[in-house]
Amino acid sequence: MAGLYDALAKITDLELRQALKQILDQVGKLQGQVGAIGTLTKPLGSALDASGNLLQNLQDPVNPQDAVNLQTLRREIERIVVGSAQTAAGRPAPFVPGAPAAPGAPAPTPPPAGPVAPPTPVTPFVPPPSGPPAPAGPPPSPGSRDAACMVNCSMQGLTVTTGQYGNLPYYEAIISWLNAADRQACYTAKKAIGNTHCGIVLSGQYASSGQAYTNIPGKDLSQDLGTLSTLIIEIITAGFVPILFLAGDGIGAGPGYNDPLGWTYGWQWLMNNLGRVVAALQTSSNGDLTNQILFSPGFDGVFYGWGVPGEVPDLQPSRVQQFGALFRSLLPNGYLAIEHGIGTIPVGGGPADYNAGGPMRNYDVILSEFDPWAGLHVDSCWQVAGRLLGPAWRRPPPSDMPPADDPNPPFYLQAGTPRGQYYTCGFEFDTYNWVRNKVSAADVVNHRQYLQSLGYSSRILG
């Protein structure tokens, strides 16, 4: 599979490349699960059902007459692969007008914050196009909405020395996976570079191969909400705003993981369990913590990611809206973020999505993922930045961005929310390559400087 991923970098058509990557991701995920077929995990709760066929050779999961048989497995792979390709071909026009289309099939749920792009050479840094970086401005008042929603964290670029695992390429999912001493090392390192936010996952690990966390156990706190509350209190005490990622990437209703490598559960599970999580955080040993937390349903497996292969019409926009409404019914003044995938501003309706009555009105922060293999000097970065930064957007020079390319991007976030302004963050751009040692800290600094040259201040970068 690694060779096939490497070949993707040679495909210049972004829509075709991402659609093919969706297919490879789905097949790779199935390959990782095949080894568990036939393993008894618990007693049978009901009679075996083989659609009226005789069950034979139950000890052999690849025998064509077995209960979980080779024909069934082949059909399942074919269904997912063909469905993904059909959905990709039939999905509406790109969510960023004029930008290359993103894949239509729902992104396979990655391990938390585990970006899903093949490693390729990093795009060379182009000097900032419009003078010095965007000014950071005065720091937000502690405890304010600005402080909660102006996200400054380390999704890439920070190395932390731990006692358990040596030097780790830090990203914002790992804090609960470490012991107390190593968590303190992370807090110290983050403070030293000015981070204001610290991520924590409700459930997650990153067990995919070829990166720093392959053999590091994750943590599932979805049934241990007391420990979750204790860790959130620890993060707050250390001086950070917790970003709680709620393990909702992808589609799944539980009770098991929808991604056994990433330990996420999916949209329906999150809809069914959000109230329980919120209630636990409202009744912690330190009282109500929810007014000090920035919540996010997941990472880059939410939008795209909350779709079903072959589903017509695409119900992802509706699912994003339903989750936002549920969150706001529980926490009318809470802080809610959402991460979008490459070139896919939620939920496809332009500025109207963010106006009064629009489906995004219950969200506060838009976290952007940019293309880690095509780089930042592309439409999927420029057109997203222009639409989410609005007046702060600074267009690159013609040598970088062609003059006729998207000359007047509409400002999606202009209307604001009933609770105040919207916020955005250049959140994830090198994470995939960072945890695989494919980029250096200097590369990340260069890429941050480029994003700052477009208008992202240092206070709203990952």
Residues 148 and 142: their CA atoms lie apart, in Å, by 8
Which contacts qualify for 69-73: CB closer than 8 Å, 24 or more apart? 73/34, 73/37
Q: State both tokens at 36.
A: 């568990």
Give me the residues paired with residue 337 across strands: 365
Residue whose C-alpha is closest to residue 422's, from 349, 346, 369:
346
Give residue 15's pLDDT.
66
Place of tokens 């699960």: 33
Give residue 4's pLDDT.
56
Specify the higher pLDDT residue, 29 or 77.
29
Q: Is the pLDDT of residue 416 over 60?
A: yes
Specify the higher pLDDT residue, 115 or 223.
223
Among 96-105, 287-296, 387-396, 420-429, the least confident range: 96-105
Residues 113 and 246: their CA atoms lie apart, in Å, by 12
Give residue 68's pLDDT.
44
Across all residues in the chain, what is the average pLDDT? 83
Question: Could you give the angle at which helices 379-389 and 441-454 cross, rounded to 10 degrees?
Answer: 50
Of the pLDDT bands very low, low, confident and very high (cuts 50, 70, 90), residue 134 is: low
Q: Is the pLDDT of residue 253 over 70?
A: yes
pLDDT in tens, 320-336: 999 999 999 999 999 99
Give residue 23's pLDDT.
75
Q: Is the pLDDT of residue 116 over 90?
A: no
Q: State the pTM of this model.
A: 0.74
Domains of the chain (ranges, CATH numbers) = 145-460 (3.20.20)
Q: Is the pLDDT of residue 70 over 80?
A: no
pLDDT in tens, 19-49: 677 676 666 666 555 555 555 555 555 554 5
Specify the higher pLDDT residue, 58 or 295.
295
Specify the higher pLDDT residue, 128 or 279.
279
Measured at the CA of 67, the angle between CA 64 and CA 69, to 5 degrees, comes to 35
**Per the omega criterion (within 30 degrees of 0), is the bond before 187 cis?**
no
Residues 123 and 339: their CA atoms lie apart, in Å, by 23
- At a CB cut-off of 8 Å and minimum separation 6, what does 188 contact? none
Position 130, amino acid:
S
Q: Is the pLDDT of residue 171 over 60?
A: yes
Q: Is the pLDDT of residue 110 over 70?
A: no
Please give the average per-residue pLDDT across 247-265, as a whole number.
97
User: Can you say how many angstroms the Cα of residue 3 is from the centroid of all Cα atoms in its chain?
Assistant: 25
Give residue 140's pLDDT.
74
Please give the average per-residue pLDDT across 157-173, as a whole number.
98
Q: Is the pLDDT of residue 438 over 90?
A: yes
Q: Is the pLDDT of residue 189 over 90?
A: yes
